[in-house]
Amino acid sequence: MIKIKGIAVSPGVSIGKAKILTREKIKIDKKKISLEQVETELSRFGKSVDEVIEEINLLIAGISDNDESTEILKTHKLILKDPGLKENVTKLIKNDLYSLEHAIQKHFTNVIELFKNMKNDYFAERSSDYEDVAYRLLTHLMQNEKDILDVLDENSIVFANNITPSGVTKVYARNIIGICTEKGSKNSHSSIIARSMNLPYVARAPKLLNKIKNDDTIILDGIKGEIIVNPDRRTLQEYEKIKDERSEKQKELVQLIGVTARTEDNHEIGLMCNIEIPDEISVLKKIKSAGIGLFRTEFLFIDRDELPSEEEQFKIYKKMADSIKPHPLIIRTIDVGGDKLSRVLNLESEINPNLGCRGIRISLQHIPIFKTQIKAILRAGEAENIKIMFPMISALEEIVKVKKIISTCKKELAEKNINYDANIKIGAMIEIPSAAITSDCIASECDFLSIGTNDLIQYTLAVDRDNQGVDKYYIPHHSSVLRLMKLTVENAHKHNIKVAVCGEMASQIKYIPFLLGIGVDELSVSPGSYLEIKKIILNSNLAELKLQAEKVLQISATKEIEKALKEMTENYD
Please, what sign has the CA dihedral across residues 72, 530, 157, 185?
positive
HEC profile for 252-282? HHHCCCCCCCECCCCCECEEEEEECCHHHHH
Cα gap 35→213, rounded to integer Å: 49
- Mark residue 336 as left, alpha or beta (left: phi above 0; alpha: psi -120 to 50; beta: remaining): beta
Cα gap 366→86, rounded to integer Å: 42
Cα gap 236→486, rounded to integer Å: 45
Tell me which long-range contacts 47-55 makes (C-beta under 8 A, separation of at least 24).
Answer: 48/100, 48/137, 48/140, 48/141, 49/80, 49/81, 49/137, 51/140, 52/80, 52/136, 52/137, 52/140, 53/77, 53/80, 53/81, 55/136, 55/140
CB 549 within 8 A of CB 517: yes
Cα gap 306→376, rounded to integer Å: 17
CB 264 within 8 A of CB 294: no
Q: Catalytic residue among 180, 273, 357, 502, which?
A: 502
Residue whose C-alpha is closest to residue 366's, from 332, 331, 337, 399: 337
Q: How big is the CA angle at 427 (ends 426 and 432), to the nearest 5 degrees? A: 150
Which residues 6+ apart lie within 8 Å of 367 measured at CB? 405
Cα gap 173→157, rounded to integer Å: 14
Q: Identity (one letter) of the amino acid at 227?
A: I
202 bridge partner residues: 8, 180
Q: Identity (one letter) of the amino acid at 6?
A: G
Residue whose C-alpha is closest to residue 536's, from 170, 339, 114, 252: 252
DSSP characters for 178-213? EEEESS--TTSHHHHHHHHTT--EEE--TTGGGT--
Q: How big, in percent rounded to 5, are the helix, strand and coil portions of the chain?
A: 55, 15, 30
- 189 catalytic residue (yes or no): yes
Residue whose C-alpha is closest to residue 191's, from 2, 4, 12, 454: 12
Q: Catalytic residue among 102, 189, 366, 477, which?
A: 189
Which residues 6+ apart lie within 8 Å of 37 measured at CB? none
CA distances from 22 to 128, 145, 148, 203 (A): 16, 11, 7, 16
CB 179 within 8 A of CB 152: no
Tell me whether the omega of the peptide bond preceding residue 11 falls within 30 degrees of 0, making it cis: no
Q: Identity (one letter) of the amino acid at 522?
A: E
Classify each residue of 18-53 as buried b or exposed e, where b means 16 or more C-beta atoms within 10 Å of its C-beta.
bbbbebeeeeeeeeebeeeebeebbebbeebbeebe
Q: 3-class DSSP state for residue 536?
A: helix
Would you name the residues annotated as active-site residues?
189, 502
